[in-house]
Amino acid sequence: MTLRDLAARHGLSLGAALTERGLAVPRYRELAATEFSSVTPENAMKWDHLERDRHTRTWARADAIARFAAQHGQELRGHPLVWHDQLPHWLTEGHFTPAELATLLRTHVTTLTRRYAGTVTAWDVVNEPIEDDGSPRRTLWHEALGPDYIAHALTWAHATDPAARLYVNEFNALAEGPKAKGLHDLAASLLDRSIPLHGVGFQCHLLLGQEVPGLARTLNRFADLGLEVAVTELSVRMLPPVTPAKLAAQAATYRAVVEECLAVPACTGLTVWGIGDADSWVPQGSRSRYGTPTLYDDAYRPKPAREAMARALGAAVVTACGRQVRALPIRGRADAPAEYPAVSR
């Protein structure tokens, strides 16, 4: 069975981040269409890709991914509306007043949500708003507009596309600690003020040997607020050389994340960040010494990680009183030492 079919038995959306460049490769397209029920544009909806020059928006790449999702009956996750990174130079170097920045941000949010209203199922509205110490991240938007830029962005998005599920997305918040607490406090505050927030996304870019004990507990803490939760960006990268032992350890980590998600009824989706190592966001030898983080190798052949995900999705279905329910996770330890002590995005 495909990963997509196995995940559907749990009511789980299984996604992948796609690039328009990758969609030109037949094997990439085949895997993207058959193995996944949801797609996220890896870069095509980011501000520097959409509006490199002011007042000139280029929709072709984002539209291509949206069409692909529609053609294959997949959900489309919009990513991201508001982020402090990957902004066009004209914006970061424009010396705008706070009032002008507020207008620019509102125009950007409403333009995107209006274009893809009825097409995008869920939006990562605000990406990475919390510092590691749990305080608000001091971004261009925070410094100009104050902490309420998050509430404004959620409100603008909801007004333009009230059917879309709206998320805050964050990294390094998988276990209890200052950052997870800061994110939880933010979500609780937004809900207390009746700001339209439907879920929280957890990035899960791991290094080989890094475990995720307590992830289910963290997800449940947010679910207790009445929110959906999702693993929105999953990858497990390693240092060369690639060995069978490292691939087995990578597979164990992928399986552990799936099991943690399945243990939480409010975990509605899981997205792997990329299809194969050939198109990975951490290609070996460029931005990082690490590489080979995905479910498929450079030739798009399945790695042990793909089979481990399939086994986790298959083994977690049990029958009780004639219906399928989620089983508790089987915890496992990656059979390799940690190559780096903390999550690095």
What is the predicted pLDDT for the residue at 286? 53
Active site residue 128: yes
What is the predicted pLDDT for the residue at 41? 98
51, 75, 128, 211: the catalytic one is 128
342 pLDDT exceeds 90? no
191 pLDDT exceeds 80? yes
CATH number (domain holding residue 122): 3.20.20.80
Mean pLDDT of the chain: 91
Active site residue 233: yes
Q: What is the pLDDT of residues 101-151, one digit of tens each?
A: 999 999 999 999 999 999 999 999 999 999 999 999 999 999 999 999 999
User: What is d(CA 207, CA 237) in angstroms, rounded to the nearest whole number?
Assistant: 5
**Residue 237 in contact with residue 208, Cβ under 8 Å?**
yes
The answer to whether residue 338 sits within a structural domain is no
Q: What is the pLDDT of residues 151-167, one digit of tens each?
A: 999 999 999 999 999 99
Residue 157 vs residues 122, 148, 221, 236, 323: alpha-carbon distances, Å: 11, 14, 25, 32, 37
Q: Pairing state of beta strands 317-320 and 323-326? A: antiparallel
228, 233, 259, 260: the catalytic one is 233
339 pLDDT exceeds 90? no
* Percent residues over pLDDT 70 in the chain: 90
Domain span including residue 204: 3-326
Q: What is the pLDDT of residues 255-308, one digit of tens each?
A: 999 999 999 999 999 999 999 999 888 865 456 788 999 999 999 999 999 999
Q: What mean pLDDT is predicted for residues 224-245?
A: 97
The answer to whether residue 343 sits within a structural domain is no
The answer to whether residue 189 sits within a structural domain is yes
How many structural domains is the chain composed of? 1
The answer to whether residue 337 sits within a structural domain is no
338 pLDDT exceeds 60? no
What is the predicted pLDDT for the residue at 287? 61
E strand or H helix that includes residue 270:
strand 267-272
Q: What mean pLDDT is predicted for residues 218-244?
A: 97
Q: What mean pLDDT is predicted for residues 34-42?
A: 98
334 pLDDT exceeds 80? no
178 pLDDT exceeds 60? yes
The answer to whether residue 332 sits within a structural domain is no
The answer to whether residue 43 sits within a structural domain is yes
The answer to whether residue 142 sits within a structural domain is yes
331 pLDDT exceeds 50? no
Of 257, 260, 213, 267, the C-alpha closest to 236 is: 257
Q: What is the pLDDT of residues 301-312, one digit of tens each?
A: 999 999 999 999
* Percent residues over pLDDT 90 in the chain: 86
**DSSP 8-state code for residue 130:** B
Q: How confident is the model at residue 325 (pLDDT cuts 50, 70, 90)?
A: very low
The answer to whether residue 345 sits within a structural domain is no
